Amino acid sequence: MWFKNLQLYALPTTWSLSAAALEEALAKHPLLPCNAASMQSQGWVPPSPGAALVYAQGKHLLIALGIEQKLLPASVINQAAQQKALELEQRQGFPLGRKQLRDLKDQVADELRPRAFVRKRTVRAWLDFEQSLLLVDSASPKLADDLTTALRADLGELPSVLLDTQQSATAAMTAWISAGHAPGALSLQEDCELTTDNAAKSVVRYVRHGLDGPELRSLIVGGKSVTRLGLGWREHLSFALTDKLAVKRLRYHGMNDDEATSGGKPNDEDAFDVNFTLMRGEIGGLLTDLLGALGGAKPV
């Protein structure tokens, strides 16, 4: 249950929500399985081993959006439709017209839909009313937007905006590479992406490469800016920061991926409590230092 990616949204410092009010709002739209006619379903699911739709620790609320999506590739539909088209052509003695082919594809899709495989995903979000942040555990901005849209619809309001800082992430990361070090508790790792600010948008990527040599500084002098940078924090975490202030590929030192994903034994509420407490301490400390290095968050 440890978050692996962070899409960050700022909340007004004057806005808050109780766990009970949030639970009541989410209960309007629990996740229901895809029916025979639909390709996707989404709704709220328990984020923890408990049965509630909201997990609360003081001013920290955890929720989860469940998504079921049927997988029905166009190639499968086309193959089945071609076979049916050949059979129809043989019976009627002439090729099918365009409208007949379109109608046949629609018919085949309707027939295959109930038998399609279902992919299930869960997107967790953490409402942190201490730092006035909404954190969505997703590498995809679209999935994060889907969650905030669903949450806003059920609450009636959600005064969140994408987090912005006094100094842009691009300007700060470029300055850190130029200086050869990151400020405070942050440290440079060995991954970096530089992009030109013009129509060409040429990109140079460094992977598992030292970032303290003159080569990168010459690229910056030549007009490139850092748009993604691998960073470490207090020897506790490593991550990649993007120009959009997304935190990606969070790695917790001393913990493997399986431990981070499971967060303890299945259905172990005590282990979940402990892991969430530890996670919010780590991520909360990281964000305090990271936002401080960027001049602080702009007010909502």
Whole-angstrom distance, CA of residue 51 vs CA of residue 225? 47
Neighbour tally for 123: CB within 10 Å:
22
pLDDT (tens digit, 9 = 90+) per residue, 160-190? 999 999 999 999 999 999 998 999 999 999 8
Paired tokens of 251 = 């790695």
Q: Using one digit for the tens of pLDDT, what is the confidence trace for 52-91?
A: 999 999 999 999 999 988 877 778 777 877 777 787 777 8
Rounded Cα gap, residues 87 and 142, in angstroms? 42
Q: Where are the alpha helices (DSSP H) in 15-95?
A: 19-26, 74-92
What would the two tokens of residue 83 be? Answer: 């076979």
User: Domain-by-domain residue ranges, the chain?
Assistant: 7-70+116-161, 74-114, 169-293
Distance CA 90, CA 176 (A): 70
Which of 276, 231, 290 shows the shortest CA–CA distance to 128?
Answer: 276
Tell me the whole-structure pTM to 2 decimals.
0.84
- How far is residue 15's CA from residue 13's CA, in Å, rounded to a whole number? 6
Confirm if 69 and 121 have CB atoms less than 8 A apart: yes
Identify residue 59 by its one-letter amino acid code.
K
Span of 147-151, 176-180, 267-271 with lowest mean pLDDT: 267-271
The pLDDT score that the predictor gives to residue 263 is 53
Cα–Cα distance measured from residue 11 to residue 21, given in angstroms and rounded to the nearest whole number: 17
Q: Do residues 223 and 196 touch, judged by C-beta distance below 8 A?
A: yes
* Cβ pair 186, 289 in contact under 8 A: yes
